[in-house]
Amino acid sequence: MIAEWFGRAGNFSLTLLIVTVYGLLVGAFIERTIAKVQGRIGIPYRQPFINILKTLVKRTAVSHGIMFYLGPVFRIAGGIGTLAFIPVIYGSETFANFSYAGDLFLVIYFMFFGQLGMALGAGESGHPYSAIGIARGLSQMTAYEVPFALAVISIVIQYDTLSITEIVAAQQGGWQHWTLFTNWVATLAAMLAFLGMTGYSPFDIFLAPQEIPIGPPTEFHSAYLSLLQTNRALFGATKLVLFMNLFFGGATGWIELMIKTLAIYMVAVVVGVAFPRFRVDQSIRFFFKIPTLIGIISIIYVQMMFTS
């Protein structure tokens, strides 16, 4: 029993490492791409790693209190945990992680874990920007949750399961079986929600580097910040993996995973480059209009298509 647990933990550590590194690299890749588009050179690929290391080895740190101290811990635990409950590579026992502890529903709710913890930590810093950022982030979250939830319900109806593994399994056997093609309405709704979820422009006001320097993490620095930076890469990649599993047929190997997730990510990047930032109330209204409508249609659609 114990050995089995350790074995799994070991396997998961490997996944964790790969996904984190991949996340950081993707981040650098996107930065570089945007820079190229804008006629700059951009950062080297090692830059994210250097950033993390640099903050990690800072010799001074201040603390505003115990919750402040625990905030980054919650945050990265949320990231790691979310990944832990998602099977990463289809058909691979090694990279199934702890997905048999819970289903899709667990993953969706566990995504809040880090956000909540982080919000508490940032709250204790006593910095108004943190609070403002959190208020905005939470508000926006309630809005993109709606199309996302509708899309999820749609595919749960479609596949008649909440198990991510089974959802992926159902999409095997060719691209035409991907949710993207079998239930493109739901995928569209989900991808619109994804824009909000990634926090890229036009939905990046909760971080808003201009008015409220980087939002909730304002007061965090040194080792705290390194944890947050790591998580940013890790959590971003985790969400990509989740979307890949749900809508894009999953992946049977790491290469497929990387190609697919990068492609998904590009959607957000392209939209982000093309559109200016929404105010919070605007983005809320946005999500409640077209995306929600599409989500509703997706359920009607799936009921017509997949239930007798």
Q: What DSSP designation does 203 have?
A: S
184-198 and 290-306 helices, crossing angle to 10°: 150
69 binds other proteins (CB under 8 A): yes
Query: Which of 17, 53, 62, 290 touches other proteins by CB under 8 A?
Result: 62
Q: Which tokens in the block code for residue 45?
A: 């690929």
Query: Which of 179, 207, 219, 232 touches other proteins by CB under 8 A?
Result: 219
d(CA 19, CA 241): 9
**Whole-number minimum distance, CB 70 to other proteins, in Å?**
7
Residues 10 to 29 in contact with other proteins, rule: CB under 8 A: none
Report the residue number, 80 or 264, with the smaller CB distance to other proteins: 80
Q: Hey, how many other C-beta atoms are within 10 angstroms of the C-beta on 145?
A: 17
Query: Which of 218, 229, 238, 261 touches other proteins by CB under 8 A?
Result: 218
d(CA 21, CA 13): 12
88 binds other proteins (CB under 8 A): no
Residues 124 to 183 in contact with other proteins, rule: CB under 8 A: 124-128, 131-132, 134-136, 138-139, 141-143, 145-146, 148-150, 152-153, 156-157, 160-163
290 binds other proteins (CB under 8 A): no
Report the residue number, 147 or 249, with the smaller CB distance to other proteins: 147
96, 87 Cβ separation under 8 angstroms = yes
- Reference 96, options 11, 186, 197; nearest CA is 11
d(CA 110, CA 184): 26
d(CA 293, CA 24): 35
**Whole-number minimum distance, CB 266 to other proteins, in Å?**
27
Report the residue number, 131 or 241, with the smaller CB distance to other proteins: 131
**Region binding other proteins by CB under 8 A among candidate stretches 112-120, 168-176, 190-198, 251-259:** 112-120
**Whole-number minimum distance, CB 249 to other proteins, in Å?**
20
Q: What DSSP designation does 211 have?
A: T
